[in-house]
Homo-oligomer: A and B are copies of this chain.
Amino acid sequence: MHYGPQGCEEPDVVGVDSLRAAFDAETVSWIDVQGFGDRSVMREIGAMFDLHPLLLEDVVNVPQRPKTESYGDHLLIVVRMVSLDDETRIEMEQVSMILSKHYLITFQERYGDVLDPVRRRIRSGKGMIRKLGSDYLAYAIADTIIDGYYPALESIGDRLESLESEVIYNPSPEVLAELNAMKNQLINLRRAIWPQREAVNSLVRGDHAVISKDVGVYLRDTYDHCVQTSEVAEMYREMVTGLMNTYLSAIANRTNEVMKVLTIMASIFIPLTFMAGIYGMNFEHMPELHYRWAYPSLVIAMTVTAAGMLIYFYRKGWIGMRTRD
């Protein structure tokens, strides 16, 4: 996992001693350490490249905030890499880069990353990656990592869109739970993106001698991507918050609908039942019971009452509203 600018060698270094052997101060070397299995390896690398103990601590104690810190002739860049699990779950992993004139060391929490396109570009020798220094390599890695946020955001955007009509026309606790989960994901993403933006900006401003001016122009592009991702994340968060309020409104709407049905049914039949109840009484002296047309009259009275209620509700717009829109 280490390359030289003219040619390109990739010794698969395992121990620290073999690393020392493979290291060559003339070329640009990329040392990629995946997984923190063995602390002693860390310490040996630290000793070999003369790294500050605080720097090593920041590398190992994850999660750190994304940041750029200058330690004399080398620079610590901490970024957060996002990868998308197949189940739309968003995984985050810290990548720490130690950038010096002649080498770039990257530390990753776990095996597996999104950096294969960078490796391919180095191997193929196409583009400028082999011609420019370690700072361009750092840019290429940072840019690839930032670009990894787009698929994650897109997957959130897709789910948001599909939830929108669900929320209005079919709200359920599951939808609410999913909105909550999305909101927490977005809060997390924002926490990763914002300091990254600051870190990249400090690189662009040219505060650090290790970054050449040419690469600065490229980093400006990376900064733009940071800003864009942070804005999209912010926008989605606002939309999720909006949907949660919409959810509440939609539920209130449904309760209102349910209430209307209940009220209409109850308001029509309760008076009628009462009228039937009257003539179900067993008083000895109820003259109406013996009238010939009493029953048909009552039926007519009931029909009129029911129709009156229906007209009243129709006037209020509780019945037939649907067809009006």
Contact = CB atoms under 8 A, between A and B. Distances in A.
Given A251-B249, A256-B251, A270-B265, A52 B217 contact: yes
A187 B217 CA distance: 30
Interface stretch (A8-16, A129-137, A286-294): A286-294
A289 B294 contact: no
A17 interface: no
Interface in A265-301: 265-267, 269-274, 276-286, 288-295, 298
A279 B289 contact: no
Given A174-B325, A253-B173, A269 B259 contact: no
Interface string A236-269: 0011001111111111111110111111011101
Interface stretch (A27-35, A63-71, A83-91, A108-116): A63-71
Secondary structure of the A contact surface, majority rule: helix
Contact of A255 (B256, B265, B267, B283): B256
Contacts of A18: none
A56 to B, nearest CB: 12
Among A184, A258, A272, A286, residue most surrounded by chain B Cβ atoms (within 10 Å): A258
A176 B180 contact: no
Interface stretch (A42-50, A92-100, A117-125, A221-229): A221-229
A220 interface: yes
Nearest to A259: B258
Contacts of A2: none
Contacts of A270: 265-266, 269-270, 273
Contacts of A205: none
Given A227-B65, A252-B252, A254-B256, A285 B294 contact: yes
By Cβ-Cβ distance, the 4 closest A-B pairs, closest first, are A276-B277, A279-B281, A262-B263, A280-B280
